[in-house]
Chains A and B, each alone.
Chain A
Amino acid sequence: MLSTVAQVKTDVLIIGSGAAGARAAIEAAEFTAAVTLAAKGAPRRSGTTNLAGVHYAAALGHADEDTPWEHFHDTIVEARWLADQELARVMCLHGPKSVHDLERYGLHWYRTPDGTHYKQLPAPGHSFNRGVHYNGKTGKMVQDALIDEVKRHPNIHLLGDVFITQILVDDSGVVGAVGIHLERGELLAISTRSVVIATGGAGMVFKVTDMETGSTGDGIAMAFRAGADLIAPEMHQFFPTAFVWPETLRGVAVNSSQLWKLGLRLYNANDERFMERYYPEQKEHMPRDILSQCIFREITEGRGAEHGGVWLDTRWIEEFETLRRDRPRSYIWPEKLGVNVQRIEVAPTYHFTLGGIRINTEAETTIPGLYAAGEVVGATHGANRLAGNALTECLVFGEIAGRNAALRALSTTARPAPEAMVRAECQRLRGVLPETGTGRRPRAIYDDLRHAMYHNVGIVRDGRRLRAAVRRVAELREEVRSVQLTNTQHYNVEWIWALELDGMLELADLFATGAEMRTESRGAHYREDYPLLDNENWLKNILVRREGKRHVYWTEPVTLPYLSEVKMRYAEPSR
């Protein structure tokens, strides 16, 4: 197994070809670096970027008097003041430019009928019409435009079906990486002084998610193993409304933040419009985190419908028929699977990984030569992300990461990936992919982990269940050592699950432990045993780093360099 090692040399290695990784590759290539853009799936086809629905948030001011500063203000307030203001500021200020970049790469955004202005749509939490878009295909169009541009650069080498497993680091910073060429079942030793991690989120750690199925948080786990700081491991966003039925659609978001703006209504099994009870004034006009919690409550307190969801009623929306025809994938397709789109049974689904790798405004992690961009990064959106801000983050920080990675590579002497480190990673991989395991198959353990995380570290948490999750994760980690695998070399699907599981188990422990530390409720983090928001004690972030075998946790106060008067937008119960 994995007996041959192929050598790869590159100035910059970018892990992940979604929006963030592809943008980073283009930028690094424009600075003349030789770039390797690796993805564990097929480039263009893999990643969550394709799935992004509609909004790309950028304050162009084409629909109204919007400014990047207003965008920044909304982002911080909706983040419940936990966002890193420096990162959010850069995202909002650079957002409009990234819209133009994408247009240059070939994405022809929807425009006003006379063609002079971009169309900008409203979304909850945004004070202005901010979402440029390509109807229901925005993510796909962004991904396509970026890969088309990538292909125009001869110095970008696209490497599909390559699973990166480790970043090699010594005292001077990044010195290489190791991966598995899935098609050949061969090890790759990659010599490089600059690595950009752009592997997306970790939705698959939870049982129900609308993310692409490769979203297993590999890059976050890799950065952690390499010794980088992670931030906000407890923060995970759920999208309030996703199909619960039929089974084949479970977890797929009923995808339009616009629906809320247009006036959808939510009912429980008793036909009560329950949001009136929680928020008599705003009703359904609440951010994702609060809607998710209210829906989850209805369900767990026994007011859920037939398949364990609540009813999303679209009959009150005048424009619905137009929207339905405009977005066949969202509405007409589910009809073919038996859904009545006038009244859809829905429940929250895992949607976005808010925590992740800590970076500064130069997209640098705490390890020299290691950069990160996109959903893999933590703290840009604090405790709640606004619609459309994810793609913007990818493009803005992808550009910055690509530039800095190239500049470092071009000014540092290249050297081969240290052999001893490559050997050590081979050794580790033999443990992750045992040849003679007799235990359960990886998929079964994978499912158990996802189940435990969804129920114990999901939308509503308490200390007892969080501790139970930590224990369960430890048991599964023990079990995974003797996992039983198919014995084939070329594209072994079970290897992928075992590799992913290894990182997911690491992350699950951090997610649950972080959630237990935060003894308050804020945004996406809701503790039944600490239901109040606590600005006095918890206007801080949780951080974690690995030192040897130890996990070291600490907290740091949120700094408020630009907006300092902490005011909440919604009447959340607080201390």
Chain B
Amino acid sequence: MINQENAPKNGKPLQVNVLRYDPESGGAPYWQTYTVPRRRASRVLDVLEYIQDELDPGLGYRRHICHNLVCHSCYVNVNGHARMTCQALIKPDVAEIRIEPYGDFVPIRDLIVDYAQPR
């Protein structure tokens, strides 16, 4: 192998802070923290899918996506920077990440934005 697999089998779980927004309650966005095992934390995409599948099916995140760098449906802000989740690798020594909706478009729910409505 040229590289090491970037998600180690064990190691400390990753803390993931997600900015949530519920259009129904009309309230302000709020932060929620999830704990994700390292082996499920190769890329930000894996982390969000893990949260949705295993921890919180109510988390809004688009799932009709390519997983593979072409569709551009997967944008979020990671630690303040716009990133495609499928391209955003998580280094093994990072303990915590912060995820917010992609800022260029109007939010619908949690991390889902309306790509037809630029801000």
Contacts and interface: CB of A to CB of B under 8 A. Distances in A.
A329 interface: yes
A104 interface: no
Given A160-B116, A338-B1, A493-B60, A50 B6 contact: no
A212 to B, nearest CB: 5
Interface string B1-23: 11111110000000000000011
A221 B2 CA distance: 45
Interface residues of B, number: 41
Interface string B57-76: 11111111111111111000
Interface in B88-119: 89, 108-109, 112, 114-116
A252 B6 contact: no
A335 B3 contact: yes
Residue from the set B7, B70, B108 with the largest chain A CB neighbour count within 10 Å: B70
Interface string A482-499: 000010111101101000
Interface in A126-154: 137, 139-140
A252 B60 CA distance: 25
Contacts of A161: 108, 114
A43 B53 CA distance: 25
Given A45-B71, A443-B53, A491-B112, A338 B66 contact: no
A247 interface: yes
Interface string A314-352: 000000000000000100010111111000000000000
B74 to A, nearest CB: 9
Contacts of B22: 488
A45 B115 CA distance: 9
Q: Tell me what chain A mostly uses at the interface: helix, strand, loop, or mixed.
A: loop
A213 interface: yes
Interface in B14-68: 22-24, 39, 42-43, 45-46, 52-53, 57-68
B7 A246 contact: yes
A349 B2 CA distance: 25
Given A161-B114, A336-B89, A490-B108, A247 B42 contact: yes
B109 A490 contact: yes
Contact of B57 (A41, A42, A137, A443): A443
A63 B63 CA distance: 41
Q: Tell me what chain B mostly uses at the interface: helix, strand, loop, or mixed.
A: loop
Contacts of A252: 67-68
A388 B67 CA distance: 21
Contacts of A443: 52-53, 57
A392 interface: no
Say which size band chain A's interface belongs to.
35 or more
B70 A42 contact: no
A338 B4 contact: yes
B19 to A, nearest CB: 16
Contacts of A338: 1-6
Contacts of B53: 443
A158 interface: yes
Nearest to A214: B64
Contacts of B57: 441, 443, 486, 493-494
Given A212-B71, A333-B69, A338-B4, A248 B60 contact: no
Contact of B46 (A44, A213, A248): A248
A183 interface: yes
A46 B64 CA distance: 6
B66 A50 contact: yes
A489 B69 contact: no
Contacts of A248: 7, 42-43, 45-46
A41 B68 contact: no
A443 B56 CA distance: 11
Contacts of A476: none
Contact of A41 (B1, B23, B73): B73
B42 A337 contact: yes
Nearest to B69: A329
A175 to B, nearest CB: 28
Nearest to B106: A183
A51 interface: yes
A461 interface: no
A213 to B, nearest CB: 6
Residue from the set A46, A139, A158 with the largest chain B CB neighbour count within 10 Å: A46
B61 to A, nearest CB: 7
Contacts of B39: 247
Interface in A163-198: 183
A40 B89 contact: no
Given A212-B64, A246-B7, A247-B42, A490 B71 contact: no
A494 B61 CA distance: 11
A212 B71 CA distance: 9
A210 B28 CA distance: 38
Contacts of B89: 336-337
Given A213-B64, A490-B23, A493-B60, A246 B42 contact: yes
Given A213-B63, A496-B63, A158 B116 contact: yes
Contacts of A337: 3, 5-6, 42, 89
Contact of A140 (B24, B46, B70, B115): B70
B73 A45 contact: yes
Contacts of B4: 338
Contacts of B5: 246, 337-338
Contacts of B68: 51, 252, 329
A541 B6 CA distance: 48
A340 B2 contact: yes
Contacts of A336: 3, 6, 89
Contacts of B64: 40-42, 46, 212-214, 496
A491 B60 contact: yes
Nearest first, the 5 A-B pairs at minimum CB distance are A214-B64, A41-B64, A45-B73, A486-B58, A338-B5
9 contacts: A42-B62, A45-B73, A160-B116, A161-B114, A214-B63, A248-B46, A339-B1, A443-B53, A491-B108
Interface of B: 1-7, 22-24, 39, 42-43, 45-46, 52-53, 57-73, 89, 108-109, 112, 114-116
Given A46-B73, A488-B109, 13 more contacts: A42-B73, A46-B65, A158-B116, A213-B65, A329-B70, A336-B6, A336-B89, A337-B42, A337-B89, A338-B1, A338-B2, A338-B4, A340-B2
